[in-house]
Structure 1
């Protein structure tokens, strides 16, 4: 059983990753893309995140007016409100600077600072562009919607282990996620699978 301290540590690590993402976003950098090809997924949810941040700012101003005669309470609420706005913007920053990454032998699927799943190309049995706007939880399936949408579906011939935000392992054999350019990503994964298959079929040179 996971202790309260372990769960708290997991949440602290997540918030630290958000702050790192915010710094990367301000510096117009990405997180661990290296020589792979990045595929973004934040475009559709960006306006929603900034709208949420704007609502938080309005709420902060309103509370400042209501609590102006209670200076101690006002300062505490102001700190909490500012921290909330920073976290919301950090979530958007994490979506931007932590894209999906495809390289020669693996696909790295990410969602902000709380999902980072690396899938070997050889484990992908099928990939297709598939728009889904409703999702039901099912054993062995991982759904990473942006808003309510996923646009790419991966079927695996061998399960992989996904660790949740709180570190709990989950075995998955099907992954649904969103990409801003799903057609390009599906095509790139298909080409990577074909290239890997051709490499595996090349006979060893005679001794």
Structure 2
């Protein structure tokens, strides 16, 4: 399978399966792998309207083709493709809703975009975080000449994170890269920055108990 199917195709196939699985997770109002003590941060606000427009257009296209195509076999094929396309639009959005960004209890960061992108950043590497709204246009994942990674939603980002050293990441289609500055979108950027700036709680140390005195 690995020798025959290109990496990009394999990753897209896995993404489709995970997106369809997300429909079930979304239907029971759960989210994917949020550890205890972690804070999730959604990023879907800029794309929600676009997703529902695509959903409506897909439904309309499916209905129109079902009415105008007279040949039974072609009609069936187009109906299956149209229904699957409509379901997949919802599944893509469900994957984003159920896989938010996460700031864990130890201060580490997990950046995600649905099932297409997943990057973990250990807490010791994070040196600074700030609210910074940027709109540069372009695609989902972009890397600039200064080693900055943009994980954009609606072509924009709202949070910038500086790192002590570069981290490795994998693009949606399988290419790898590294970045020392991370820029991503969070619907509530101030809360995300506050979570990244907090100090992880350390367990309290109890004073050693005094040795028992001599028997009375």
Match of 1:145 among 138, 144, 152: 152
User: Secondary structure in 1 aligned to 2:91?
Assistant: helix
The answer on whether the counterparts of 1:135 and 1:143 sit within 8 Å (CA) in structure 2 is no
Q: Are residue 95 (structure 1) and residue 96 (structure 2) matched?
A: yes
| Aligned-partner Cα distance in 2 for 1:105–1:147 | 27
| Aligned-partner Cα distance in 1 for 2:26–2:6 | 29
Instruction: State how 1:77-156 maps to structure 2 within 5 Å.
Output: 77-103=78-104, 104-135=106-137, 137=142, 138-139=144-145, 140-156=147-163
Instruction: State how 1:36-75 maps to structure 2 within 5 Å.
Output: 36-67=38-69, 69-75=70-76
Instruction: State how 1:7-26 maps to structure 2 within 5 Å.
Output: 7=7, 8-26=9-27
Deviation at 1:43, TM superposition (A): 2.4
What's the counterpart of residue 182 of structure 2? 175
| Aligned-partner Cα distance in 2 for 1:167–1:77 | 31
The answer on whether the counterparts of 2:107 and 2:195 sit within 8 Å (CA) in structure 1 is no
Count of aligned positions: 193
Unaligned 5+ segments in structure 2 are 203-216
Higher helix share: 1
What's the counterpart of residue 170 of structure 2? 163
TM-score by length of 1: 0.87
Q: 1:132 to 1:14 in 2, by over 3 A?
A: same
Give the root-mean-square deviation of aligned CA atoms. 1.8
Deviation at 1:11, TM superposition (A): 1.6
| Aligned-partner Cα distance in 2 for 1:148–1:3 | 35
| Aligned-partner Cα distance in 1 for 2:79–2:167 | 43
User: Secondary structure in 1 aligned to 2:46?
Assistant: coil
| Aligned-partner Cα distance in 1 for 2:101–2:19 | 17
What's the counterpart of residue 5 of structure 1? 5
Unaligned 5+ segments in structure 1 are 200-207
User: Secondary structure in 2 aligned to 1:38?
Assistant: strand
User: Secondary structure in 1 aligned to 2:78?
Assistant: helix
| Aligned-partner Cα distance in 1 for 2:90–2:137 | 26
The answer on whether the counterparts of 1:115 and 1:164 sit within 8 Å (CA) in structure 2 is yes
Provide, for residues 114-159 of structure 1, a one-character-per-residue CA deviation record: whole Å limited to 9, x for no partner.
0110011211122110111115741432211111221001121211
